[in-house]
Copies of this chain bind each other. A is one copy, B any other.
């Protein structure tokens, strides 16, 4: 049936009942994720309780069988592909919202609940959970936490790590640990819960999360600012981030992105547009107009071509049309795309975009930059034809140069996608040997036999 020891199959079939899948056709759906890499697991577990998870990890540890936690596989780095075989643990049956406590700004959930389902439930209480990755409608809270997912709202409200209070998890030794307290402050021992966030299932499997919630703002408003060039837009970003009214979104598009949105996507943008910012504010309905005025003033720098204020939700949608036209337009340039989410200090955005444009010319490959400017977190999209081996090889070298550039600017490999398989080989460039050794020692403390998601994150 599969390559696992028969006694393990027997034991886990007993523990998990119909939540133990060994049929190859059933396993296939758990072989890949949004990275488009693929590797068939030996079995798939669909636990319904934390006790099942603990029993599974203990049984697998006894036989040194890999255990790979999985939400819905929306990650782009291969973090949930079972490259060493073993058991994929999909949390699709642990998807309950256990408690919502508005007065405490806290929700307690199982890891498999979809981000979007949680947001819908919270809305009735006038609350939201800050992380808003593009995948929110079909990615899980557990997956968001495992990758430290962010999204455009992170500039004001933080990413996953900033919005977790406590986690219950099963370590690689099969021990159930309780990290943190469901309070907004805490100084009782080591902060293990934020360590688990972003660890991509390599330290422990999250079985319950107490999340920090934020009250929903009453109203929001949007601005679209068009600049002559990237350095003008970057100057505006710095000015926007240096004043107290933090935008609720601050999204950037470089000149290639603007051109694509206009020429291919049909967005209504002027010819002289060399960069674009989408700026949002949220807050009290009465004071929002004043907030928008404040942001308009901060966005006004030399090189501003136009500044449009969306008077209502329909106008807001029209302003966002340019941004939304972009992703489909990218596909017209080349069939293949490498999308990396590097991050640099905000002041270094112009250097990053300039450097990337230089690399685009050097390697004769289109590279389009857009993303979360308020955090310095740009999505660098390198376009190429995977069928063309010479182009593929150039693309790979160009991307490693993008990473080297990012690191030279005081930035790092990933802002919100994580490392997984995709960026693992670049870790020694980003993290020095003693710090990597320390990460390995932490890994060993949580997972003494290295059974949790082997081959990911650490080189």
Contacts and interface: CB of A to CB of B under 8 A. Distances in A.
Contacts of A283: 244-245
A147 B187 contact: yes
Interface residues of A, number: 97
Contacts of A286: 290
Given A194-B195, A286-B290, A442 B445 contact: yes
A242 B102 contact: yes
Interface stretch (A210-218, A222-230, A391-399): A210-218
A326 interface: no
Interface in A234-269: 238, 241-246
Interface stretch (A4-12, A313-321, A380-388, A433-441): A433-441
Contacts of A379: none
Nearest to A440: B445
Interface in A324-358: 343-347
B183 A376 contact: yes
A280 B171 CA distance: 43
A431 B375 CA distance: 35
B244 A177 contact: no
Nearest to A424: B189
A192 interface: yes
Contact of A345 (B183, B343, B417): B183
Contacts of A195: 190-192, 194-195
B245 A284 contact: yes
A214 B246 CA distance: 9
Contacts of A412: 181, 183, 186, 188
Contacts of A377: 183, 185
Nearest to A127: B242
Interface string A416-451: 111100010001001110111111011111100000
A330 B188 CA distance: 26
Nearest to A175: B434
Interface stretch (A21-29, A60-68, A103-111): A103-111
A451 to B, nearest CB: 16
Contact of A185 (B150, B203, B444): B150
Interface in A146-198: 147-148, 150, 154-155, 159, 161-162, 171, 175-179, 181-192, 194-195, 197-198
A271 interface: no
A294 interface: yes
Contacts of A418: 187
A288 to B, nearest CB: 9
Nearest to A125: B242
Contacts of A414: 186-188
Given A103-B346, A187-B414, A187-B418, A438 B192 contact: yes
B410 A182 contact: yes
Given A102-B242, A183-B343, A191 B192 contact: no
Contact of A346 (B104, B159, B432, B443): B104
Given A190-B195, A192-B442, A287-B290, 16 more contacts: A103-B242, A105-B242, A181-B412, A182-B345, A183-B343, A183-B375, A183-B412, A186-B343, A186-B412, A192-B438, A192-B439, A194-B194, A245-B283, A245-B284, A286-B290, A287-B291
